Amino acid sequence: MVKAVVLGAAGGIGQPLSLLCKMSPLIDVLSLFDVVNSPGVAADLSHIATKAGDFKGEQQETEDAKKAALSGADIVIIPAGVPRKPGMTRDDLFKINAGIVKDLIVACSKYCPKAFILVISNPVNSTVPIAAEVLKEAGVFDPKRLFGVTTLDVVRAENFVAELLNQKDSSKFNIPVVGGHSGNTIVPLFSQTQPSVDIPADKLDGLVHRVQFGGDEVVKAKDGAGSATLSMAYAGFRFAEALLKAAKGEKGIVEPTFVYLPGVEGGDAIAKATGCDYFAVPVELGPGGAEKAINIVSKANDYEKKLLDEATKALKTNIEAGVNFVKGASK
Ligand SMILES: NC(=O)c1ccc[n+]([C@@H]2O[C@H](COP(=O)([O-])OP(=O)(O)OC[C@H]3O[C@@H](n4cnc5c(N)ncnc54)[C@H](O)[C@@H]3O)[C@@H](O)[C@H]2O)c1
Ligand SMILES: O=C(O)C[C@H](O)C(=O)O
């Protein structure tokens, strides 16, 4: 019996993500939580007859509602929080989203301390360290079970490469994207693409920029109405599905994700090489979650090494902000 919970279920990402969860044969019980309209979303989805039944939408911001939503959860996916408007950076969201994520993780630490936790809320580079610090303070932190969802960067990289090479099917490309999830902290390693691709030299800078700033394209096009929601729901579900399949014993599943490196096998060497404790790298998933971090960073070419240098500088500041948000508050 697998119970999945979506926190922020009535939002732009939350609704399509909940629909994808409702359609998944890997999920038996689906629980939706938001501070607005989640009973409505739950009632709507309940008219779809699929396996993920027995579900409810909890709305009030009360302890009882959080307890009901989270108790017994195996996987919690968190797209709760505010999205960007044109002119904003993801870091501008910290002020509001840091507190939202902190409160929700406190609830996870009490009611489902062993669940896989997938953080979508931005800025991911800081909200994941916030989540880790909250779980550490509660004495229930398992680094193998906490993931920053960076799959949208991978989805974009794969799709933009397919577009550039006039290929219709982006699913045949496997492109690792490492680092963090904002601007120049996002580093696509095109040299490690499987199957290998030849990117024309005069197109490389533009392609890297498009992956790093792909989120801005959507923010601009939505013109004040938010950021990526549908592609994010797809990406979030792709990662959740991979994790659930691996948890059931399927072997050989590898996805890039933003993890606390010192707590994952193979992560120490990457933390040492990058100077960052949190980093998105391809991770082998298994029944316990993040079984092994794969050190693809060491295979970067000279062009990619420069990108990595820039990424790590910015990332360190973002990570520190997240850690201090929790540690500072508890002093
Ligand atoms: N990781 C990624 O790749 C990625 C991609 C796209 C968006 N995002 C981020 O995801 C977040 C959500 O984006 P969106 O477009 O769905 O925003 P949205 O405003 O449409 O939805 C957010 C939902 O969160 C809810 N919420 C707010 N506070 C809450 C709380 N304390 N508990 C439960 N729910 C709460 C809101 O009521 C709302 O329904 C943003 O921070 C955005 O930047 C991340
Ligand atoms: O760009 C944003 O703010 C949302 C998200 O992080 C994205 O990459 O689309």
pLDDT for residue 135 is more than 80: yes
What average pLDDT does the segment 274-279 reach?
Answer: 98
For residue 140, how far is the Cα from the chain centroid? Answer: 20
pLDDT for residue 24 is more than 90: yes
Residues in Cβ contact with 64 at an 8 Å cutoff, skipping those fewer than 6 apart: none
Q: What is the pLDDT of residues 314-327, one digit of tens each?
A: 999 999 999 999 99
Q: What is the pLDDT of residues 217-226, one digit of tens each?
A: 999 999 999 9
Q: What is the pLDDT of residue 58?
A: 72
Of 26-35, 244-253, 258-267, give the lowest mean pLDDT range: 26-35
pLDDT > 70 in the chain, percent: 98
Instruction: Quote the tokens at residue 88.
Output: 């904003």
Q: What is the pLDDT of residue 55?
A: 64
Ligand nearest to the CA of 148: 1
What average pLDDT does the segment 96-106 reach?
Answer: 98
pLDDT for residue 54 is more than 70: no
Show the domains of the chain with their CATH numbers.
Answer: 3-150 (3.40.50.720), 151-321 (3.90.110.10)
Residues in Cβ contact with 167 at an 8 Å cutoff, skipping those fewer than 6 apart: 161, 173
Q: Ligand 2 atom closest to Cα of 219?
A: 1
**pLDDT grade, residue 53 (50/70/90)?**
low
Tokens 């609830």 correspond to 107
Task: Name the residue among 113, 84, 114 with its Cα closest to residue 96.
Answer: 84
Name every protein residue with a CB atom under 6 angstroms from any ligand 1 atom.
Answer: 7-8, 10-14, 33-36, 79-84, 93, 97, 100, 103-104, 120-122, 124, 149, 152, 181, 226-229, 232
Cβ-count burial 110-136 (b if 16+ within 10 Å, e if not): ebbbebbbbbbbbbbbbbbbbbbbbbb
What average pLDDT does the segment 159-177 reach?
Answer: 92
The values of phi and psi at residue 51, to 5°, are -65, -40
Q: What is the pLDDT of residue 330?
A: 65
Q: Residues 71, 232, 13, 104: is their CA dihedral positive or negative?
A: positive
Q: Ligand 1 atom closest to Cα of 151?
A: 3
User: Could you please report the per-residue DSSP string of 291-318?
Assistant: EEE---GGG--HHHHHHHHHHHHHHHHH
Cα–Cα distance measured from residue 223 to residue 231, given in angstroms and rounded to the nearest whole number: 17
Tokens 């990457």 correspond to 270
User: Average model confidence (pLDDT) for the chain?
Assistant: 95
Q: What is the pLDDT of residue 56?
A: 67
**pLDDT grade, residue 125 (50/70/90)?**
very high
Written as one letter, the residue type at 10 is A
The crossing angle, in degrees rounded to 10, of helices 230-247 and 14-22 is: 40
Residues in the chain: 331
**pLDDT grade, residue 251 (50/70/90)?**
very high
